[in-house]
Chain A
Amino acid sequence: MTWEHCDKTAIVGVGATPYYVRGQSWPRTINEMIGEAIIGACTDAGLKVQDIDGFAYYGGAKAGYLDTMDTASIMEMLGIPEVNFTATLTGGGGGSAGAIGLASAAIIAGEANYVVTVMALQQRNQRLGTVFGALKPDPENSFLQPSGLVGPGHLMSVLARRHMHLYGTRREAFAEVAISSRNNALNRPEAIRRTPLTLEEYFASPMLADPLCRLDFCLETDGAVAVITTSSERAKDLRQKPVLVRAASHGGRREWGRAFAGMGMSDEYFASSGHKSVADKLYAKAGMKPDDIDVALIYDHFTPMVIMQLEDYGFCAKGEGGPFVESGAIRFGTGSLPVNPHGGQLSEAYIIGMTHIREAVEQLRGTAINQVAGAETALVTGGPASLPVSGLILRSSQ
């Protein structure tokens, strides 16, 4: 049955810093970038910073893996007088889309009126690409880390290999995800990578964790993005056309569990994005099906995980993700399902999922740089990772 709270909340403001190549945001501090994004989101919405009374984070309110976001520090920095809700989803980047659901829950419950979701990232001392190798050993990761799977891409290369083995998925399919994303970034002033990418260049890219090459890995960037969620009633009085929260869902099955942090997934789940149960719940809550999605913002930390999410969200059958993308289906302008018209984390910038929420809002306002004509519904996904994973369906308000 469709969720009783469909369309009762809305995203009303988006703010962001410029995007920087890894480490280059310094000497700006991470709190400075958080502040700039939040002030930008308030200005966009037509709100004062003092109106903010809630925070809904994800990833344990960590900013990347090494910094933290702290509500008290943000209140002190920006002069926010009082908060009535401050909470986070657990896990990591899997919760990015779900954080909007957390904000909506606070608003529907009457706990807060204007709730910020923010993520900031600064890789000054440690790059994320090899972050696990730099972690201190603990009793749990002592069963993983000694294998030399030093970063997220190394871990997910093992899933990609299994997908290739089971379904015959080709590297050409991974290449198509990278090339399609790059094409979408070419005309974006803020994108980090804006030069065309050819299949030849893809295959010449060095292998980092075979079957994945460097171009299968997303960017390592610095920056911050914030959005503000409020009730759809309050949204009517604000500056922007509201973007309605149709439904959000987070969580997942134990068969996925800690996923590639333990490699103990069930056989059925191993070569997947882990999103299947969350996707099914999301569509049921929204009263929608895959055909109803006009534009998909798919968390693209690594190219094969885009393909596995397209399967789990029902845009093609399980195992058919490779041929689906190779058919040109995800291309902006010509494909049946435009995916990441902002260039995604592969070519625009990586702020742990927040650029996807930003792009969905712009698409549904009708103001996107690569606007999908007539887009009324957008799917946003969180990163395939240890639970929770999450999904979000946004809808245009007219």
Chain B
Amino acid sequence: MTQPLSRALPGEHVHITTDPWTEPFWQAAKERRLVAAQCSDCQTFRMPPTPFCPHCQSQKIQWPQLSGKGTVYSFAVCNRSPFPGVEDFVYIPVVVELDGAPGIRLVSNLIDIDPAYVSIGMAVTVDWNPITEGWQQPVFRAA
């Protein structure tokens, strides 16, 4: 029996806010570029982007663009709408390890896939879900 394919969350219900340290991530996302915060001094990545490098306490930061490829670290399968008044649908919250950014993970959704085919370790690639106020949410699909 095949299940319905997983979907992205309906963008009109997804809200984010930014601060000066997280804004570059979301501004790049608006251009459909996946970037990550990296310490310019010791090269340690951090997620979410915070004001200090937790390894060397430097505040120098750079935003390398990533390939958008990654690996499923863990996931859940949900089949109830997370939003009141929205009809139930299948969605897959996923924790992704990102190629080119060792040591950090992105919490996202895996879309357009039968949940039976999702497994830890599978390769995924980034896509984009338009959300409120013109932002774009990084989501993933099977690579």
- The finding on whether chains A and B are genuine partners in a shared complex, rather than unrelated, reads yes
What is the CB-to-nearest-CB distance from B80 to chain A, in angstroms, rounded to a whole number?
7
Q: Which residue of A lies closest to B50 (CB)?
A: A140
What is the CB-to-nearest-CB distance from B92 to chain A, in angstroms, rounded to a whole number?
9
A335 at the binding interface (Cβ < 8 Å): no
Told that A130-B82, A209-B78 touch, could you supply 11 new A-B pairs with CB distance under 8 A?
A139-B17, A142-B16, A146-B14, A146-B109, A147-B93, A148-B9, A262-B47, A263-B95, A263-B107, A264-B104, A270-B74
How far does the alpha carbon of A145 sit from the alpha carbon of B131 in the complex, in Å? 13
B71 at the binding interface (Cβ < 8 Å): no
B63 at the binding interface (Cβ < 8 Å): no
A165 at the binding interface (Cβ < 8 Å): yes
- Set of chain A residues within 8 Å of B74, measured between Cβ atoms: 158-159, 161-162, 165, 270
- Set of chain B residues within 8 Å of A270, measured between Cβ atoms: 73-74
Interface positions of A from 200 to 214, Cβ below 8 Å from B: 207-212
- Set of chain A residues within 8 Å of B9, measured between Cβ atoms: 146-148
How far does the alpha carbon of A159 sit from the alpha carbon of B75 in the complex, in Å? 8
A108 at the binding interface (Cβ < 8 Å): no
A149 engages B76 (CB within 8 Å): yes
- Counting residue pairs across A and B whose Cβ atoms lie within 8 Å, the total is 100
A133 at the binding interface (Cβ < 8 Å): yes
Residue from the set A145, A148, A210 with the largest chain B CB neighbour count within 10 Å: A148
What is the CB-to-nearest-CB distance from B130 to chain A, in angstroms, rounded to a whole number?
12
- Set of chain B residues within 8 Å of A3, measured between Cβ atoms: none
How far does the alpha carbon of A145 sit from the alpha carbon of B15 in the complex, in Å? 9
B18 at the binding interface (Cβ < 8 Å): yes
A149 engages B107 (CB within 8 Å): yes
Interface positions of A from 139 to 183, Cβ below 8 Å from B: 139-140, 142-150, 154, 157-159, 161-162, 165
B137 engages A154 (CB within 8 Å): no
A142 engages B17 (CB within 8 Å): yes
How far does the alpha carbon of A209 sit from the alpha carbon of B74 in the complex, in Å? 13
How far does the alpha carbon of A146 sit from the alpha carbon of B115 in the complex, in Å? 19
- B residues touching A (Cβ–Cβ < 8 Å)? 9, 14-19, 21-22, 26, 47-48, 54, 73-80, 82-83, 91, 93-95, 104-109, 115, 120, 131, 137
A159-B74, A162-B74, A210-B115 as given contacts; A147 in contact with B19, CB under 8 Å: no
What is the CB-to-nearest-CB distance from B91 to chain A, in angstroms, rounded to a whole number?
5
B15 engages A137 (CB within 8 Å): yes
- Set of chain A residues within 8 Å of B75, measured between Cβ atoms: 158, 161
A4 at the binding interface (Cβ < 8 Å): no
What is the CB-to-nearest-CB distance from A338 to chain B, in angstroms, rounded to a whole number?
31
What is the CB-to-nearest-CB distance from A239 to chain B, in angstroms, rounded to a whole number?
49
A139-B19, A162-B73, A165-B74 as given contacts; A208 in contact with B108, CB under 8 Å: no
How far does the alpha carbon of A262 sit from the alpha carbon of B106 in the complex, in Å? 9
- Set of chain A residues within 8 Å of B14, measured between Cβ atoms: 146
What is the CB-to-nearest-CB distance from A391 to chain B, in angstroms, rounded to a whole number?
26
A291 at the binding interface (Cβ < 8 Å): no
- Set of chain A residues within 8 Å of B109, measured between Cβ atoms: 146-148
B107 engages A162 (CB within 8 Å): no
Residue from the set B74, B78, B80, B137 with the largest chain A CB neighbour count within 10 Å: B74
